[in-house]
Amino acid sequence: MSPTIRAFLTSCDAIFEVHSHAPVVSFSDARHLLPFDPEAMVKSLAFRLPGDRYAIAAMQAPERADYKKIADALGVRRADLQMATDTELAQFLAMGPGGVAPLPINEAQVVIDSGVTAMATIYCGTGRNDSTLQIRSAELLRVSRGVLCDLVKRGPLTPSGN
């Protein structure tokens, strides 16, 4: 777990567990290599916004992100929503690829798909790709101060889940 993430969660008196494992980068990796229920996994996408601001959008891992809905939820034009680079993840959010956590690190804006609230316990990033955060969804909502929105595409999933 990233020391920044641990410090944030500890400062919020969050109740959580951390599971260490081999590095994973994609949902496919996680689904095949980790013992967690894939339906309980949450993926988080990090974005750079105008004005050198950052945002994190979280949704159930099998879902397909709807970038227009994410942009609307963040109050920006779709064209202004840019994926954060690996360097930006490390420098501004203290996170690495495959380990993005849906937390407001360095004042990142957090939006969470409303489907996450249907999950009792979730598994998500810890800032590193070699550990997973286990936390109750209500606890994640409390500490992330995330805004609930509809962020995913509706309809059948593609075979890759993207």
- Provide the residue type at 73 as one letter: A
For the residues of 3-32, what is the DSSP string, one character each? HHHHHHHHHTT---EEEE-S---SHHHHHH
Which one is predicted more confidently, 107 or 162? Answer: 107
From residue 131, how far is each of 2, 116, 147, 152 by CA, in Å?
9, 20, 25, 25
Residue extents of the structural domains in the chain: 3-149
Q: What is the pLDDT of residues 127-160, one digit of tens each?
A: 999 999 999 999 999 999 999 999 999 865 544 4
CATH architecture of the region 3-149:
Alpha-Beta Complex (3.90)
Residue 49 to residue 56: CA distance in whole angstroms: 10
With a cut of 80, say whether residue 161 has pLDDT above it.
no
Q: What is the pLDDT of residues 28-69, one digit of tens each?
A: 877 888 888 878 899 999 999 999 899 999 999 999 999 999
Which one is predicted more confidently, 102 or 25? Answer: 102
Mean pLDDT of the chain, nearest integer: 92
3-state secondary structure of 56: strand
